[in-house]
Structure 1
Amino acid sequence: MHNLLRRGYQLLLALFAVALVYSFFLRGYCPANWKSHLDLAAFILISAFVVVNALWVYRRHFRYRDLQMDQVDAMAGEEFEHFCGYLLKRNGYKHIKVTQASGDQGIDIIAEKNGKTCGFQCKRYTGFVGNKAVQEVWTGHNFYKLDEAVVLTNSEFSDSAIELAESLGVRLVDRPRLKRMMRRLPS
């Protein structure tokens, strides 16, 4: 489905380019009886391109804006990672990169803030998040040579995970902190 959408968009982009070339350069060379049809086709293609891009921008920038925690709890793991990336962007982080799902070395997102490069492990859980998440983000922190390691979750951390994070210097963002980050989103 994703490839089909990408190919459809590439076709629309190519047709948009043809419509622009016609509108700006070739219109004067066309026979008079073709102009009304070509003008209409160019208008439709340019309008479709503008509408598709406007919808994409709207969806990309506003799809997570009004979410409640129960909707976050229902997300799949990869969607939660993208949601966390959106939250980080809206909370002042820059150069946000969501890593590939497999082989990420324990880091789901890499982002920068205040000159520091941070690695984030995103865990959408229903129970307590344990030591494994802290160990994974610490390993990724060392692998990518990052300044800071953070575990983000929609849940709570176990006592042993909190203790391990404190000893390693890993920052933990639990459910209440995640809610605070969500409140900072523009409405």
Structure 2
Amino acid sequence: MQFDIQQVEQFILLLVTAVVIIFLLKVIMKYRKKKRLLRSNIYDIDMLSGEDFELFLFYYYRKHGYRVKLTPLTHDFGADLVIKAHGKRIVVQAKRYKERVGIKAVQEVIGSMAYYKAKQGMVITNSYYTQSAYVLAKSNGITLIGRNALIRMINEDTVLLP
């Protein structure tokens, strides 16, 4: 079976069109997800996956003018986000939990600071912290942003940083 030049050109045009349409659909879907996440209230956040909570924080801090980098989903060395603010690097561990966030999250962010060359660390959750988490965070200069602070941050459309 032989193809003439016109058939090959039509096939290539069709293929390019399909690729462009797929690309545009992905861009539109990403934009809609970003808008949906940025409109989230605490009850919406309670329903997010852990990955989408990280995305929410990524978009939220970027919206407020900070340079933010998402770390890889696996092998992230204990940080989910790296925020550059006022010349400092801040690592963030995001925990979208139903139960209280314990000492492990604080340990993870402490461990990530050297790897990401960060001066400060934060753990942000939609939940609350255990007493052990507060003690370890205080002794290591880690900022804990819990449910009430997150609600205030969203309602006042502001950011909290160390």
Q: Map of 1:9-158 to 2, 5 A cutoff?
A: 14-15=16-17, 52=25, 55-56=28-29, 58-59=31-32, 61-94=34-67, 96-158=68-130
Q: Which amino acid aligns with 1:141?
A: M
Q: Which amino acid aligns with 1:88?
A: Y
Q: Spell out, residue by residue over 1:25-53, the C-alpha distance to the aligned partner (whole angstroms, 9 max, x if none).
A: xxxxxxxxxxxxxxxxxxxx8xx79x758
**CA, structure 1 residues 55+128, in 2 after alignment: closer, same or farther (shift >3 Å)?**
same
Contact 1:87 1:182 in 2 (8 A): no
**CA, structure 1 residues 12+56, in 2 after alignment: closer, same or farther (shift >3 Å)?**
farther
Q: Which amino acid aligns with 1:81?
A: E
The CA RMSD measured in Å over matched residues stands at 2.8
Looking at structure 1, the residues matched to 49 and 30 of structure 2 have their Cα atoms a distance apart, in angstroms, of 22
Match of 2:4 in 1: none
Q: Map of 1:159-170 to 2, 5 A cutoff?
A: 159-170=131-142
Are 2:154 and 1:182 aligned? Answer: yes
**CA, structure 1 residues 55+102, in 2 after alignment: closer, same or farther (shift >3 Å)?**
closer
Instruction: Tell me how far 1:15 sits from its aligned partner.
Output: 3.7
Identity of aligned residues (%): 36
The structure that is helix-richer by fraction is 1
Q: Which amino acid aligns with 1:92?
A: G
Normalising by structure 2, what TM-score?
0.77
Normalising by structure 1, what TM-score?
0.67
Where does the alignment leave 5 or more consecutive residues of structure 1 unmatched?
Answer: 1-10, 17-44
**CA, structure 1 residues 149+12, in 2 after alignment: closer, same or farther (shift >3 Å)?**
farther
How many residues align? The count is 145
Q: Which amino acid aligns with 2:114?
A: N
Where does the alignment leave 5 or more consecutive residues of structure 2 unmatched?
Answer: 1-12
Q: Which has the larger radius of gyration?
A: 1
